[in-house]
Every structure is written in structure tokens, then in C-alpha cells.
């Protein structure tokens, strides 16, 4: 099985080379690393953008889970496996986000290629529970959605900078300069978010979301995540859990329920209808969009903040 998995992407590359035609994603994978650039693979499109902000033209970065794909449930393709096999540096979020990661990397990993878990040591909140802030130390799995706190995302950027500099020391100063500019941009983003959230009346600074992705964001900016429909995508809530969440939304007069663009909004719409509140369906968390409104990390964050503020204010 190990040999088959490695040979499949090589066969795909041969088909493209022989002029039989192949989809753009397959052609990109078959083309191999760009000459003169450090080949980098990131597990998600969000992480790929962070790498791009630091690496600039010196890196050729590819996300395994492309824009619009759910990083929890994504299944790597043969092209993805080939990209991993050719990578000079590999970044992933970790903390349980990429459920498919361990098995995938074991198939193609090379001992001399850095594989960096960007959330290591930062995922301190619990993934499952009743929507209340909890530390990982209290039990349960860690919440992996660390990057939705821009202050914590700065550590991602610093780790990316240091890894690229070690892998490509001749361009270390360029990576350092780019990282410095981007870290400043994240500081500015943090300040802007604080100012926007301050316009929400304190009594209305509470959220119910589709899945448990916004705890780090809420903790940073003084919001309360009062509940969510599913602990993670693919796990349907019970009728009892739905009834309890509906009761909570009514009792606490939560202004809005937030769905996510990558998932079917029917459950959220039903909850909002039963609770008599509005639903916002365009929040993004684990994946960028191929164009506006969330085609970079910064635009994703700004879009989400505008949606949250407009709904709660």
C-alpha cells in the first residue's frame, strides 16, 4: 500500500508530461517545485497565506486543503501527496485540526524536511463542551483554532520566519524584513478589531456559532461564546442539545447566530427560526476564499469582524 500511494502521483505526472491533458491542480502538482524558490507546503489556505506574507517571491507555497475546503474533513488527493513529497518545508496547524494529517505525512515524509506544528504550545482552550471558556488543562481535546486570535497568530508568523530562514539562510534577512512588516500589520489589525468590538454594547457581546471555532477570538476581544451547534464539523447535535441551545438563545437574548460559509446553513437557520433571532451566514475560519471577501488572512479577519459587529450592535 505504501508503494502504491507514492507511485500514484508519479503516474499522474507522467500522464501530464505525455500531453494527455490534466486539470490545473494536477498540472501544478506535476510541474514540480518552481526553479530558484523554496518549495513550501501548508496544510490549509490560511496557513499558506501566512507563509506567503513572510516568504514573498522567494517561496512557492501550496496549501493541501485549497480555498473553500474544510481543513477538518479534507481528504488529500494524489496531487497533494506529490506536493508533500517535493516540499522543502512543511507547515501544519496541529492540535487536532487536520484529522487526516498524521497518516498523510507518514506516507511521504522525509527525515531531512522540517515539519512544523504552528499551534504547538498555544492551543490552551478546550475543543468540546458547553460553549464556556475552558482551559485544555481541565480535560478534553485542545481547540485548534488558534489563528483566529491575531496576537497568537504572531507566533505562527515568527515560527514561519525562523523555519524559512533556517531552510534558506541566504534569504534570511528578506524573511526577517517581511515578517517584521507583517507583524506590524497584525498589531494594526488587533487595534482595529478592539476599536470595532468596543462599539458593541457590553450586554450584546455574546455569540452562538455553528461549530466551536471562535473561542480564541472571543477571549481576546471580550466576547462570550454562549454555545455552538456542533463541537466539530460532521458531528450532528442531538435533539436535546438543540432544544437546550434554543432555550439559552431565548433566555439570554442572544442577538444573532453565526453560521459558516463552508458548511450547510440549514441547522443554523432552523435554530435561529425557533429562537426568533437572525442568522449571519458568512463567517470564515479555516479556509480562505478564492477571491473577496476573505482571500487573505487579514481580509478574512476584517470580514468576520464587520459581520459580527453589524449583527451584535
Contacts of 34 (CB under 8 A, 6+ apart): 60
Average pLDDT score over residue span 92-100: 94
18 compared with 311, residue with greater pLDDT = 311
Is residue 207 within 8 Å of 258, Cβ to Cβ? yes
Cα-Cα-Cα-Cα dihedral sign, residues 282, 287, 289, 292: positive
**Cβ contacts of residue 229 below 8 Å, gap of 6+?**
208, 209, 210, 211, 237, 242, 245, 267, 268, 271
Of 92 and 277, more confident: 92
Query: 3-class secondary structure for 283-310?
Result: ECCCCCCCCCCCCCHHHHHHHHHHHHHH
Assign 254 a pLDDT band (cuts: 50, 70, 90).
Answer: very high
Q: Give CA angle at 78 (76, 84), nearest 5°.
A: 70
pLDDT band at 2 (very low <50, low <70, confident <90, very high): very low
- Highest mean pLDDT: which range of 51-65, 126-140, 217-231, 250-264: 51-65
CB 169 within 8 A of CB 38: no
200-312 shares the fold of 2-189: yes
In this predicted structure, the answer to whether residue 133 has a pLDDT above a threshold of 90 is no
pLDDT at 259: 85
154 by Cβ neighbours in 10 Å (0-12 / 13-18 / 19+) ranks as middle
Instruction: Say yes or no to pLDDT of 219 above 70.
Output: yes
Question: When comparing pLDDT for 252 and 35, which is higher?
Answer: 252
Q: In a 10 Å sphere around its CB, with 0-12 CB exposed, 13-18 middle and 19+ buried, how is residue 83 labelled?
A: buried
> Domain 200-312 is in which class?
alpha beta
How sure is the predictor about 224, in pLDDT bands with cuts at 50, 70 and 90? very high
Q: What is the average pLDDT score of the chain?
A: 85
Q: Which three cell numbers stand for residue 34?
A: 518552481
In whole angstroms, how far apart are CA 33 and each of 15, 19, 28, 84, 198?
Answer: 18, 19, 9, 11, 46
Whole-Å CA distances, 255 to 46, 133, 201, 227, 312: 29, 20, 11, 13, 6
The candidate with the shortest Cα–Cα distance to 65, out of 52, 86, 84, is 84
pLDDT of the residue at 46 = 98
101-109 contact pairs (CB < 8 A, 24+): 101/43, 104/64, 104/76, 104/80, 107/2, 107/5, 107/6, 107/81, 108/5, 108/6, 108/81, 108/84, 109/84
CA nearest to 156, candidates 97, 102, 76, 204:
97
Per-residue confidence at 164, pLDDT binned at 50, 70, 90?
A: very high
Over 50: is that where the pLDDT of 84 sits?
Answer: yes
pLDDT for residue 192 is more than 70:
yes
Question: Residue 212: pLDDT band by 50, 70, 90 thresholds?
Answer: confident
Which of the two residues, 7 and 79, has the higher pLDDT score? 79
Which of 68, 50, 88, 63 is closest to 168 using CA atoms?
A: 88
Residue of 213, 217, 212 whose CA lies nearest to 153: 217
- pTM as predicted: 0.85
Q: Tell me the per-residue pLDDT of 18-54, one tens digit each, with 9 for 90 and over.
A: 333 443 333 444 445 567 899 999 999 999 999 999 9
What span, in angstroms and rounded, lies between the C-alpha atoms of 129 and 227? 9
Domains of the chain by residue range: 2-189, 200-312
CATH number of 2-189: 3.40.50.1980
Q: Which of 230, 268, 254, 236 is nearest to 308 (CA)?
A: 254
Amino acid at each position: 500500500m505504501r508503494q502504491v500511494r507514492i507511485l500514484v502521483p508519479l503516474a499522474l505526472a507522467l500522464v501530464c508530461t505525455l500531453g494527455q491533458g490534466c486539470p490545473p491542480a494536477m498540472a501544478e502538482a506535476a510541474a514540480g517545485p518552481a526553479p530558484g524558490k523554496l518549495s513550501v507546503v501548508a496544510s490549509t489556505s490560511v496557513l499558506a497565506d501566512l507563509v506567503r506574507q513572510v516568504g514573498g517571491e522567494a517561496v512557492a507555497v501550496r496549501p493541501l486543503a485549497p480555498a473553500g475546503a474544510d481543513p477538518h474533513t479534507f481528504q488529500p488527493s494524489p496531487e497533494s501527496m506529490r506536493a508533500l513529497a517535493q516540499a522543502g518545508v512543511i507547515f501544519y496547524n496541529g492540535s487536532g485540526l487536520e484529522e487526516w494529517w498524521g497518516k498523510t505525512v507518514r506516507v511521504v515524509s522525509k527525515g531531512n524536511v522540517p515539519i512544523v506544528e504552528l499551534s504547538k504550545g498555544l492551543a490552551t482552550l478546550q475543543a468540546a463542551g458547553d460553549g464556556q471558556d475552558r482551559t485544555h488543562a481541565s480535560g478534553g481535546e485542545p481547540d485548534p483554532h488558534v489563528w483566529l486570535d491575531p496576537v497568537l497568530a504572531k507566533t505562527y508568523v515568527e515560527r514561519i520566519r525562523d523555519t524559512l530562514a533556517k531552510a534558506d539562510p541566504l534569504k534570511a534577512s528578506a524573511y526577517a524584513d517581511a515578517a517584521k512588516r507583517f507583524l506590524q500589520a497584525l498589531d494594526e489589525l488587533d487595534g482595529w478589531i478592539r476599536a470595532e468590538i468596543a462599539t458593541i454594547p457590553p450586554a450584546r457581546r455574546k455569540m452562538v456559532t455553528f461549530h466551536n471555532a471562535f473561542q480564541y477570538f472571543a477571549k481576546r476581544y471580550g466576547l462570550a461564546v454562549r454555545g455552538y451547534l456542533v463541537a466539530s464539523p460532521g458531528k450532528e447535535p442531538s435533539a436535546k442539545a438543540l432544544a437546550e441551545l434554543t432555550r439559552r438563545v431565548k433566555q439570554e437574548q442572544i442577538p444573532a447566530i453565526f453560521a459558516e460559509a463552508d458548511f450547510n446553513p440549514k441547522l443554523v437557520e432552523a435554530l435561529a427560526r425557533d429562537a426568533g433571532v437572525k442568522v449571519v451566514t458568512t463567517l470564515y475560519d479555516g479556509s480562505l476564499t478564492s477571491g473577496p471577501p476573505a482571500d487573505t488572512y487579514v481580509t478574512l479577519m476584517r470580514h468576520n469582524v464587520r459581520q459580527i459587529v453589524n449583527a451584535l450592535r
